[in-house]
Amino acid sequence: EKCNTCFSCDPGALDDSVKALEGTRHLQMRGNDAIDLLQKEGKTVNLWVSDMCLIDPKHQVDHLVLAKEKGILNDNSFFVLTLKFNTGHAKETFDLFAREEVKRLQDKLPVE
C-alpha cells in the first residue's frame, strides 16, 4: 500500500531535496507539538520512525506512547526507535537500558 504523506518532524530545517519529494510534509517543531497538531488535524500514521537525539532517551518511548494515546498511531502500526544512549558506553549498560525500554513498551502498548 502506498503512503500518501510522509510527515517529518524536526525543529531544524529539512533538506530541500527531501522537501521537494511528493507527499512530504515537514513539521518544523518539537515532537509533542507535532503530535498535538496531527491529532487536531485528524491525521494518523501506520509507520513511526524516531531517530531523535534526546538528553533522556526514555523520551523516545514516551513520544510513541503519547502518539498512541492521542490516536495518531494506528492499530497494527510498525515503529522503529533509535535509542541513543549517551551515558556510558558499556554494552552491558546499553543492553540493560534497551531491555527496560522494551519492557516499558510492552507494559504500555500491545506489542507483538
- C-alpha to C-alpha distance for 72 and 95, rounded to whole angstroms: 29
Region of 111 on the Ramachandran plot (φ > 0 left; ψ -120 to 50 alpha; else beta) = beta
Kindly state the cell numbers that stand for 61: 518511548
Query: What pLDDT sits at residue 86?
Result: 65
Give the start-to-end residue ranges of the domains of the chain: 6-108
Task: Give 10-residue mean pLDDT values along the chain (112 residues).
Answer: 81 90 90 93 88 70 87 86 69 82 79 59
CA distance 67 to 39: 9
pLDDT score of 37: 96
Residue type, 6: C
